[in-house]
Amino acid sequence: MDQHLFNQLNKLNTEQRNPDTLDIDLADALTIAKKINDEDKKVADAVSNRLPEIAQAIDWVAQSLAVGGRLLYFGAGTSGRLGVLDAAECPPTFGTQPEQVQGFIAGGEAAMFVAQERAEDSEELGAADLNKLEPNATDVICGIAASGRTPYVHGAIKRAREIGCKTIFVTTVPREQLNLISDAIIDVPVGPEVIMGSTRMKSATAQKMILNMITTGAMIRQGKVYENVMVDLMLTNAKLVERAKRILMTFTSLDYISATQVLDAANGHVKTALVMALTNTNKEEAEAKLEANGGFIRKALSM
């Protein structure tokens, strides 16, 4: 028995009973859906209270990526899966290299599909998984833990601080309930879950929103968005190829055939194709404009 752990959990907001769902076991399907939806509506407002901290995280990640650093997520269970998911979606969405944003979950790859619950109980394992990546001070380490107490995540954050990395900690309990030092703490107390302790619900929704903001914001700051369109996507499937052509047609007077030809001439690089079309230049000239302006299309067009 672990009385200390019991006492910790007993105090956590996410482990309390929700007074608004005490009778959910008696509800019909529509009432269940409504109760869950009513609780989910509270999440966005809770996240809005931590926008300055999220903005700080965006700046740190953008600065890290600009000098060759990485964003490395560490989590367990649902939190870990969300980090892996966010990292996996960056290359096709923003054209990043897979190593630039990575997600790690206690228990390794197997834990993505089948719960490996005890893997989260070791700080040493979190530190060891970080050490395998040979981190340095240019990297940003983001720990994700709904309860705020996951030892695996604490181990990674503590080791990152020893190395000199910037650290971000995302949790859904108030910072007053934390026993961890991190450079930025994004605490979004979402209150008791619909089902007591089921942090795959409101907590996970909040965490997903925050991770979306961090990576999307950092990528915008890297020039990977023009106006409000993702223009650095990788053409890894037929849908993305067609989306790239539509992007070209949206910003230019090109028809479908012409957009296809310009995209081919740019070797499938949408940003280069856009600059080529909008400035009537060839691939090499467009690439030079982008290079001289840090990859920002607006700046490249003003040359």
DSSP β-ladder status, 166-171 and 225-226: unpaired
Which value, to the nearest 10 degrees, does the dihedral of the CA atoms of residues 43, 48, 233, 73 take? -70
* Choice among 39, 53, 109, 120 that is catalytic: 120
| Cα 178 from Cα 222, distance rounded (Å) | 33
Distances in Å between the alpha carbon of 78 and those of 68, 141, 251?
29, 18, 39
Q: Phi then psi for 185, rounded to 5 degrees?
A: -115, 120
| Cα 206 from Cα 79, distance rounded (Å) | 10
Q: Is 89 a catalytic residue?
A: yes
* Choice among 89, 242, 285, 287 that is catalytic: 89
DSSP annotation of 233 reads -
DSSP β-ladder status, 101-105 and 140-144: unpaired
Q: Is 120 a catalytic residue?
A: yes
Please list the active-site residues. 89, 120
